[in-house]
Amino acid sequence: MARQTLSKGEKEEIAKVANQKFAEGLLKKELPKYFDDFKELKSLSLKPFKNHLGKSSAVFVVEYLIKYLDKDGSSKELDLFCSAHTDGSREGAYIKTKFLYEQGFDKGKYRVSKPLFFVPEQKAFVYVASIGESLFKFFKEDPGADLDSALTLAAGWIKKLHGFDLKKNKFDWPDFRVANMIPTPEKFMADFIEDDKEQGKLVTDLYNQMHELELKYQTEYPQSLIYGDYHPENIIINGLDASDLEMIDFTDLALGDPMVDLGAFIQQFDFMGHNFVSREKINQNKKLFVEAYFKKPLDEIKTEYIKRINLYQSWTALRTAIFLFYMRDMDNPIHDLLEDCKNYINLSAKEEKEINLH
């Protein structure tokens, strides 16, 4: 089924988050509720990061750089982000982030970004900017950088999330399943087949295999709270020797197999780094991350965990290939991703303690 075309009014409504006068009015109204010392807005600079107005969707991400007077007459600065999406996903991200923030992720070495408020009319989530840069930016700018400390920190954050007490902290979390991919498997398989029958058959076979493996493995683990899309761009740190980190973007938070997050992270680290980080270093860093999570060498980790990690490396590679397929960019490495997906599936079915393909 085709997605409904957005009306002119819907587009204009969400685009307001990037409008100076609208943002000033919104902040004057909302900031006193969250900052007791707020008295008066002195200045506001808008820095757009995403500005997409399509036929069926609209996405805006805008940074609000604020200067305000406090009640003592002193000038203060505040850095906020406003993320808006017509699919309504920002509301879920706001609710999930707020829940985690209120349940202990507001302090310590493993934190989440500080949520402020949700704006229903613009379907926008406003939160305090995390101080630092993404882990991805660090190794992109310095491919030879020592990532051991940062990856150990990243493994610790996701381990804390997986240990979240679900019985004590009640919340209506969605369930993670391979079949819940967006677009749906029925749609993307049909679209691939229509575009290229041979490639479409490969995509269909790969999806069916990983769906069967997930059904097989899901009886072997207790459900945990998972991030759902763990990758280096959403990890914010002050430096590669940082002792703490903040996570952003909790759209995909759900209940599922904790190995989803390990598979997703190391495969996306591989994909993001392969153009500039050496293969040897990528392989070493993937291994280090998994070992830091389990706090033991790879050959001492149970095979059942390695199998599931590889299943979700395959799932992540397939999901990336699907995303690039719909971008219709001739330079996109869809073939290579599907080949990796197939090889990770094969690895998942074996009794080998291996997480690297190359």
pTM: 0.91
Torsion of CA 220, 222, 227, 231, to 10 degrees: -30
* CA separation for the pair 32, 90 (Å, rounded): 22
Query: Which residue ranges make up each domain of the chain?
Result: 8-128, 133-348
* CA separation for the pair 325, 336 (Å, rounded): 12
Beta strand 245-247 pairing with 110-112: parallel
Q: Is the dihedral of CA 255, 288, 108, 47 positive or negative?
A: negative
Q: Which residues, at least 6 apart from 286, have a Cβ–Cβ distance to it below 8 Å? A: 266, 269, 270, 355, 356
Residue 144: what residue type?
A: G
Q: Is the dihedral of CA 306, 310, 313, 319 positive or negative?
A: negative
Q: Which CATH number among 3.40.50.300, 3.20.20.210, 1.20.1270.10, 3.90.1200.10 corresponds to the domain 133-348?
A: 3.90.1200.10
Residue 331: the pLDDT is 66
Residue 92: the pLDDT is 92
Residue 36: the pLDDT is 95
| pLDDT per residue of the chain (358 residues) written in tens, 0 to 9 | 344 677 888 888 999 999 999 999 999 999 999 999 999 999 999 999 988 877 777 899 999 999 999 999 999 999 999 999 988 889 999 999 999 999 999 999 999 999 999 999 999 999 999 999 999 999 999 999 999 999 999 999 999 999 999 988 888 999 999 998 888 999 999 999 999 999 999 999 999 999 999 998 887 788 899 999 999 999 999 999 999 999 999 989 999 999 999 999 999 999 999 989 999 999 999 999 999 999 999 999 999 999 999 999 999 999 999 988 987 655 668 999 999 999 999 999 888 999 999 8
Q: Give kind and range of the element (H or E) at residue 291.
A: helix 279-294
Residue 57: the pLDDT is 79
Closest C-alpha to 233, from 281, 265, 211: 265
Q: Give kind and range of the element (H or E) at residue 302.
A: none
Residue 302: the pLDDT is 95
Residue 240: the pLDDT is 97
Residue 330: the pLDDT is 54
Residue 231: the pLDDT is 96
What is the three-class DSSP state of 114? coil
